[in-house]
Amino acid sequence: MKKIIVILFLLLIFLSACQKDNRTDNENNNKKDDVIENKDNEENVDNENKLDNNVLIAYFSATNNTENIATKIQNKLKCDIFEIEPQMAYTSADLNYNSDCRANREQNDDNARPEIKNKIEDISKYDTIILGYPIWWGQAPKIMYTFVETYDLENITIIPFCTSGSSPIGTSATNLKTSAPSANWKDGKRFSASASQDEINTWLDNYFKEEVNMKLLIDGSEVKVKWEDNESVKALKNILPLEINMEEYGGFEQTGKIGRSITRNDSNINVVPGDIVLYNGNQISIFYNNSSWSYTKLGHIDLSNEELNNLLNKDSVTIRFE
């Protein structure tokens, strides 16, 4: 009888251990599924944060100056970025231009094509490449020729930029073009290493300024607006359609509440008739007379002062964004 009890006791211990193992396996599987799901969510967020998925910044930087500009370009565009890495890194001795250094020998050799360590897996998914490099003896480093000759760049738009202490971009980009003539080359620009984000943004606006497709109706009549290119306009566009009952204020504006707060970047500005502004992040004001205060400008109505006065100088109006 004692033997039977011992056997039953051991059997119960064995079954309990098996259940624990199964439970642990299930928990581990669930954790693994959670990790996969979280990774997918992170990838989706990353893709949403990239504004220009068809744009690539490709740059070579031996002393980090060009990398600094490339990073600021990415800050603006939120696009992919690729550093062109030489198979054999450049040392300070390689860049000692007062000697018979490696950089000098390469620049004086028309056939020099330094090897690149890394590669772009699928360049065909990009329709625009912003191509950056330092100026070496008035020209692009020979590794840039290696890059443009490695890939099929036909019909891809290339926007070059360079960094230097004082030398202009000169013929560096046009000479690179001879190695990739089927690409659509745009005019390039030279930056100093200390170029500001605003300077870079202004340059990029020549190529990537997004046209805002948004209508404004005042009491049912559409008016032509030149919208600003800023985060507040983008935020406003994301909550369309939007109708606001406005009231006259101060003898110079119509103002009304959005019903929520959106992104703002206020500064003290002098507004003129036709200006559309965001006030305090949650109100829209449209001016028919001059004023000044801390606002975020959204746009400007293309009408004469007389037309604006007839349209807005009344007790109230209803505006609609769509």
Fold of 216-321: Cyclophilin (2.40.100)
CA distance 150 to 100: 28
Helix (H, G, I), strand (E, B) or coil at 293: strand
How many alpha carbons fall within 13 Å on the CB side of residue 269? 15
216-321 shares the fold of 55-208: no
CB 215 within 8 A of CB 322: yes
Distance of CA 37 to the CA centre of its chain: 26
Q: Where are the domains of the chain?
A: 55-208, 216-321
* Calpha distance 78→74 (Å, rounded): 5
Predicted pLDDT at 44:
40
Tokens encoding 233: 């306009």
Nearest in space to 87 (alpha carbons), one of 116, 108, 129:
116
Tokens of 25: 């396996």
Q: Which CATH architecture has domain 55-208?
A: 3-Layer(aba) Sandwich (3.40)
* pLDDT by position in tens, the chain (length 322): 544 544 544 555 444 544 444 433 443 443 333 333 333 333 443 443 445 579 999 999 999 999 999 999 999 999 999 999 999 999 999 999 899 999 999 999 999 999 999 999 999 999 999 999 999 999 999 999 999 999 999 999 999 999 999 999 999 999 999 999 999 999 999 999 999 999 999 999 889 876 778 999 999 999 999 999 888 998 999 999 999 999 999 999 999 999 999 999 999 999 999 999 999 999 999 999 999 999 999 999 999 999 999 999 999 999 999 9
| CA 238 – CA 232 distance, rounded (Å) | 10
Burial status of residue 162 (CB atoms within 10 A of its CB: 0-12, 13-18, 19 or more) = buried
